[in-house]
Chains A and B, each alone.
Chain A
Amino acid sequence: MRWPTALVVLLAALVADVSFMGVLELGGVTPRLVCVAVAFAAMQAEPGAARWYAMLAGLLVDLSEPSMAGPRAPLYLIAPWTLGVFFGAEAVLSLRGIVVRKNPLAVGVLAGVLTLSAGLFWTAWWALRSWYPDSPAPWGTGSALGEFGRQLLTAISTGVCAVPVGWLLLRSGGMWGFPSVISRQRGGGQARIIRE
């Protein structure tokens, strides 16, 4: 995976998420382009690179979405999205073998899976953190289950949005420098990978 390309796409997705994507907001639910970018990379890239990319993406999201801590200070808590997106990417890595990677619909489905996994982890982490007196949960007095329902809707909207975005990303596949699996050595269980 070519990191300069991946980083440009990630930053563009991050900026769009926090500023522009509100234009697609429906009932308080907004798709997350960062999750689409990570899902796409996790579908195509080497597992190691995909994991680091997911962690970086989650870290940037954590640094973009503050939560108001107890004494009214904005708290940029590093972990909920960082780990959530990481584990979401792990889910994509384990599922990518059963989908057609060059199909935009597959990007949509796996982006939805990643967003749902990340949202589930984010909700669980904040539910755990809300036991701390200085870290109230971002969803206020609502329940964690209700918040997870919102994350489910976000995952669905992200999946829908990921189909056209995935098509664009697939068209730009050559710029990413993903490896292409030509053959597998079944005996040793190792994939022989060469660059496109």
Chain B
Amino acid sequence: MRRIPPIVIAVAFVMLLGLVPARWVAPWSSDLSAVVWVPLSPLAHAGTSIRLWLRPGNAASREADASVVEERDRYRGLWHAEQIKVQELEKRLRAYEVAAKTSRGGDAKFAAASVLTRSASGGGFALKLNCGSRQGIAAGDVVLFGGDAIAGRIAPDVGNVTSTVMSVADRASGRVDAYITPAAQEGAKRTEPISVQIVPDGRGQLRADIDLGSAVAAGDMVRVRDPAWPQGAQGMRIGVVREVRRKDAQPLRGEAIIDPVVDGSSVGEVVVRVSNGGTP
């Protein structure tokens, strides 16, 4: 009887692996990937640093005082979050309710993380970080970049020392409740936000249905206001309106095309908002 070559057996085995349902493969292949990448992570970190040094991603990183800009953005995000809280409190006062909850964000802490690898996923990007459950990171935690810009959320199956960020443009992120602040009102004491629901279009952008008569225009900032997201993410930037156009299917309605505020190719260091009270 003729002996089957080992390479043929290997190919057949891999084909079989590639056809089994994801729930059978995902648990152990994630662990295998983590094991493979443990010794390679320092090299990948160095490679990413060199890439960002050679090709900086955004204007802010070229500024001499980027840290000041980052600080400004962080406080601006907090200010927007406070604005939302004020509006909620006003609503409660009108209804003669007592605002019992006064602290936002709970005891959330921040964990700095470096990006090890980057890959395209679901129309957005997936970033592998060098921190995991050992640093208190859990699935659903919000990942910030440059102060108040949301890069995405931590995907399930967090490893001990690694985790994966699913970008806001990933189709799997689903719908997000948000609001658009006209650019002219950025920094104003009282703003008139326009509530929208944004949906990833699977091509790297977000879309939102709007009223054609609304004041939304290119350059307006989009911020999160979604009860399903952690309290600490409310008011953070998620995108910038690229253009507003009439919907072909519904000519009386408009559609805002939104670019995610974080470009995956320019991210080297991020901050994870640890919302479960862990110890980063």
Give residues in A with beta carbon < 8 Å to B: 11, 14-16, 18-23, 25, 48, 51-52, 55, 59-60, 63-80, 82-83, 86, 125, 129, 132, 134-136, 138-142
Contacts and interface: CB of A to CB of B under 8 A. Distances in A.
A187 to B, nearest CB: 24
Given A68-B121, A80-B18, A134 B23 contact: yes
B234 interface: no
Contacts of A86: 11
A69 to B, nearest CB: 4
B201 A141 contact: yes
A65 B123 contact: no
By CB atoms of chain A within 10 A, which of B15, B19, B122, B126 has the most?
B122
Interface residues on B, range: 35 or more
Nearest to A52: B7
A55 B10 contact: yes
Contacts of B46: 19
A19 B116 contact: yes
A68 B152 CA distance: 13
Given A55-B14, A134-B23, A135-B22, A22 B51 contact: yes
22 contacts: A18-B47, A22-B51, A22-B55, A22-B265, A63-B36, A67-B126, A69-B22, A69-B172, A72-B172, A72-B173, A73-B22, A74-B155, A76-B33, A83-B18, A86-B11, A132-B22, A136-B122, A136-B172, A140-B123, A140-B201, A140-B203, A141-B171
Contacts of B117: 18-19, 64-65
B119 A15 contact: no
B164 interface: yes
Contacts of A16: 47
A34 B58 CA distance: 28
Nearest 5 A/B pairs, CB to CB: A79-B18, A140-B202, A19-B47, A140-B123, A141-B202
A88 to B, nearest CB: 13
Nearest to B172: A68
Contacts, number: 169
Nearest to A19: B47
Contacts of A129: 18-19
Contact of B126 (A23, A48, A66, A71): A66
B215 interface: no
A73 B234 CA distance: 24
Interface in B113-149: 116-124, 126, 128, 139
A64 B201 contact: no
Contacts of A80: 18
A138 B26 contact: no
Contacts of A125: 18
A76 B26 contact: yes
Given A66-B164, A78-B17, A140-B171, 9 more contacts: A48-B7, A63-B37, A66-B30, A74-B156, A77-B29, A79-B14, A80-B18, A86-B11, A135-B22
B122 A138 contact: yes
Given A67-B122, A140-B203, A141-B202, A20 B50 contact: yes
Nearest to A138: B121
Contacts of B22: 69-70, 73, 75, 77, 132, 134-135
Given A18-B118, A76-B29, A142 B14 contact: no
A79 B17 contact: yes
B51 A19 contact: yes
A63 B36 CA distance: 8
Contacts of B98: none
B203 A142 contact: yes
A20 B48 contact: yes
By CB atoms of chain B within 10 A, which of A70, A73, A78 has the most?
A73
Given A73-B155, A140-B203, A22 B118 contact: yes
By CB atoms of chain B within 10 A, which of A11, A18, A77, A138 has the most?
A18
B161 to A, nearest CB: 15
Interface in B21-42: 21-23, 25-26, 29-30, 32-33, 36-37, 40
